[in-house]
Amino acid sequence: MAQLPLNTFKTKTAVLGTSTTATVYTAPVGVTSIILMANAANIDNTSTHLITFSHYRNNTVLPDNQGNGGQPGHTLTEQVVGFPIPNNNAASVLSGKMIIESLDSIIAYAEVPGVIKLTLSVLETANS
């Protein structure tokens, strides 16, 4: 069986559409990822456009021994909703870093297709 590299840096890019289920990134099986940066650029010359950026929990998280921290699977948690990005401008849609556990995803979309470009800087770490 091949070993996963301990740490791998990646850049993921996407031109956002309007689908509310558009997955931009999913952490691979056996990997926990850290989203280091999420930058959205509005390439339209004339109008401000809106972006929604979310974390999607795929698997159920069981509570700890004290019964805390459990979360159902298939849970969408919005980070920003309808966040305006002025024409010919860019903004960070993530104020810090975000942990993406194995098979969890980043979902992002815009209200107008083809005018918002999203760039993610990702650190993937093999689970031990």
SS (H, E, C) 61-78: ECCCCCCCCCECCCEEEE
- The structure tokens 């979310």 sit at 54
CB atoms within 10 A of CB 2: 4
Query: Do residues 12 and 25 touch, judged by C-beta distance below 8 A?
Result: yes
- Distance from C-alpha of 83 to C-alpha of 93, rounded to nearest angstrom: 8
Task: Tell me the one-letter amino acid at 69.
Answer: G
- Distance from C-alpha of 85 to C-alpha of 38, rounded to nearest angstrom: 13
Specify the pLDDT at position 18: 95
Q: Structural domains in the chain?
A: 7-61+71-126 (2.60.120.1330)
State the average pLDDT over residues 115-122. Answer: 98
- Does the pLDDT of residue 2 top 70, yes or no? no
| Segment 19-53, tens digit of pLDDT | 998 999 999 999 999 999 999 999 999 999 999 99
- Does the pLDDT of residue 1 top 70, yes or no? no
